[in-house]
Amino acid sequence: MPMQNIAICGSMTFIEQMRALCNELEAKGHRVFLPQDDEFDYQMRNAEAQIARKQKYIDDHLTKIRMSDAVLIANYDKHGVAGYIGPNTLMEMAFAYALGKEIWLLHAPGAQACQVEVLGLQPTVLEGFLQHLPNK
């Protein structure tokens, strides 16, 4: 596969796994964008500060998606849901879809509220292996 710009998306619960994916992709010659690691203490801030901080994180990551050729969704199991995709990740997937970017899911999405919407974005499911990335 030729070098690509890839934005990794997923629940921040999975940031360590996303870093490992980043390292693996960079070792293959890709340029990788990770979401900003959120060390903001939302419990210690008022609602206005929380919203402003979240907006900045969203804007920053959407810019990274815009600069990418594809998005890789790091969707591991969470809350008893296989291949969990949360609201921010679904939003990022829809943004990538609207821009015509390739969407790769690390795992098939399990039964969850947004499962049909996720599949409607026509992602490529990698079955847990980066070796299954499409060769383009």
Domains and CATH numbers, the chain: 5-132 (3.40.50.450)
Taking CA 94 as the corner, what is the angle to CA 63 and CA 98, rounded to the nearest 5 degrees?
75
Q: What are the pLDDT digits (tens) for 9-39?
A: 999 999 999 999 999 999 999 999 999 886 6
**Tell me, what's the pLDDT at 93?**
98
Global confidence as pTM: 0.92
* H or E element, residue 72: strand 70-73
The whole-chain average pLDDT of the chain stands at: 92
Q: Please choose, from the candidates 109, 98, 136, 119, the residue with its C-alpha nearest in 3D space to the C-alpha of residue 10.
A: 109
